[in-house]
């Protein structure tokens, strides 16, 4: 346990210093003895960061302490307030993480005070739900209040592992895996109540019966109807969830593309595992790509600020800044502009993001109002039991126990 605590501390220090986890973070799970403790500690500290700092700062005379000491105090405070581990053990083990002797007394004193005071309920919304204050104020400008409360509430809890059942191989109700249940919205989705083995070594995954994919992502290809042999382009395809799903649904001529060269191998492996064959795999920037054909359907799972996946990656809430939204929107607009000329007249473009910003969603797609009809997908979403916010151009999924926020807009081309 002590070694696990040291690894957790080092990784949290790396995160707070660099702004995003490296692959070293994910590899570290292979080396810890108690993975549940380790993972809950890491992600718990990230989820509760604003609240933990509020508690710590209330007991500090000087708020400007070294980042290493703040990280250690966050680790100790989280365990004291949100785990059942004995207080004396938490304090002793956390103090041992302190390398500078001059700070050992401070950490010891702060943690002992917190163990006596216990959990205190803050009045401010951003502290209660541990989200950046600026982000909540930003969301209030364009989202219903009940949506904001939903996303704040669900971001407090880890997301269950979900997968898509390959309907070409087996029906969902005939799939035999321990601890799985059908997802509430996707007709081909399952979720794991708990998963106690390496998911990538699961027999049903290796043999192509399931593909790990969020339920929200599974819904996107289900919002359109495919015809055999039609031309379909997936512009930002990695890691391949939607692309492989499309071919599981229908034998279309699918061309896929991704800008990141290292992800092309991932795509190839996914298709091989599922015994599916795209027409072509390309490796270009979708903002600049030149295509030989015109397509019936073009999918754009756009690069975005990813705020909708904060349950899985809580660090994204602190990594993103408001100025990034406009920059990302410019990239998204460039992608749509470039690919629009490769869409057949009356063809459809399916634009989606896993984020919750007006710049990257509504403001991006509404620029095509003079050139497109926006397909009303509300009735289809209701058949899947999905609650949404409709902005006249597309829908933003409400989060629930399994579903994460996704925005999707379907544009039918009427003009160049």
Q: Which two tokens stand for residue 14?
A: 């790396």
Q: Is 318 helix (H, G, I), strand (E, B) or coil?
A: helix
Q: Which two tokens stand for residue 181?
A: 């249940």
Specify whether the CB–CB gap between 276 and 247 falls below 8 A: yes
| Beta-sheet pairing, 231-234 with 295-301 | parallel
Dist. CA 224–CA 70, nearest whole Å:
49
Dist. CA 108–CA 91, nearest whole Å:
7
Dist. CA 63–CA 325, nearest whole Å:
31
Q: Partners of 348 in the beta sheet?
A: 297, 412
Catalytic-labelled residue, pool 255, 354, 356, 410: 354
| Binding site as annotated, residues for S-adenosyl-L-methionine | 236-242, 258, 285, 301
Angle at 391 between CA 353 and CA 329, to 5 degrees: 40
CA-nearest of 317, 345, 291, 344 to 405 is 317
Q: Which two tokens stand for residue 74?
A: 């966050």
Q: Which residues of 167-195 are buried (b: 16+ CB within 10 A; e: fewer)?
A: eebeebeebebeebeebebbebbbbbeeb
Instruction: Tell me if residue 354 is catalytic.
Output: yes
Dist. CA 13–CA 17, nearest whole Å:
6
| Binding site as annotated, residues | 236-242, 258, 285, 301
Maximum Cα–Cα distance for the chain, whole Å?
Answer: 71
Please, where are the H alpha helices in 48-66?
49-57
Dist. CA 38–CA 5, nearest whole Å:
7
Give CB contacts under 8 A, 24+ apart, made by 197-201.
199/161
Please, where are the H alpha helices in 58-187?
67-82, 87-96, 101-117, 125-128, 133-139, 145-154
Catalytic residues: 354
């Amino acid at each position: 346990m002590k070694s696990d605590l040291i690894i957790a501390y080092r990784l949290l220090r790396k995160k707070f210093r660099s702004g995003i986890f490296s692959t070293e973070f994910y590899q570290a799970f292979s080396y810890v003895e108690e993975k549940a403790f380790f993972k809950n500690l890491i992600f718990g500290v990230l989820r509760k960061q604003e609240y933990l700092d509020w508690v710590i700062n209330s007991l500090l005379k000087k708020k400007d302490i070294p980042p290493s000491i703040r990280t250690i105090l966050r680790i100790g405070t989280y365990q004291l307030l949100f785990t059942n581990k004995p207080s004396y053990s938490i304090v002793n083990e956390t103090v041992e993480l302190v390398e500078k002797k001059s700070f050992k007394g401070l950490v010891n004193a702060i943690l002992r005070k917190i163990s006596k005071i216990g959990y205190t309920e803050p009045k401010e919304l951003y502290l209660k739900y541990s989200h950046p204050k600026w982000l909540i104020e930003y969301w209030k400008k364009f989202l219903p209040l009940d949506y904001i409360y939903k996303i704040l509430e669900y971001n407090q809890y880890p997301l269950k592992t979900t997968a898509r059942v390959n309907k070409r191989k087996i029906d969902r109700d005939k799939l035999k895996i321990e601890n799985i249940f059908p997802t509430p919205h996707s007709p081909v989705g399952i979720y794991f109540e708990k998963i106690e083995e390496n998911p990538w070594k699961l027999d049903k995954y290796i043999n192509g019966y399931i593909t790990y994919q969020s339920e929200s992502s599974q819904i996107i290809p289900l919002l359109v109807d495919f015809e055999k042999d039609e031309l379909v382009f997936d512009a930002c395809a990695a890691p391949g969830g939607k692309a492989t799903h499309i071919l599981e649904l229908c034998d279309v001529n699918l061309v896929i593309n991704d800008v990141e060269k290292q992800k092309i191998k991932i795509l190839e492996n996914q298709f091989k595992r599922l015994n599916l064959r795209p027409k072509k795999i390309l490796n270009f920037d979708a903002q600049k790509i030149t295509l030989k054909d015109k397509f019936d359907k073009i999918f754009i799972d756009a690069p975005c600020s990813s705020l909708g996946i904060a349950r899985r990656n809580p660090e994204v809430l602190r990594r993103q800044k408001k100025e990034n939204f406009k920059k990302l929107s410019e990239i998204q607009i460039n992608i749509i502009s470039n690919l629009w000329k490769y869409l057949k007249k009356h063809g459809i473009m399916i634009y989606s993001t896993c984020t919750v910003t007006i710049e990257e969603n509504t403001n991006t797609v509404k620029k095509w109002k003079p050139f497109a009809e926006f397909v009303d997908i509300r009735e289809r979403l209701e058949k899947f039991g999905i609650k949404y916010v409709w902005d006249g151009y597309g829908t933003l999924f409400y989060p629930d126990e399994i579903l994460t926020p996704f925005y999707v807009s379907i544009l039918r081309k009427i003009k160049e």
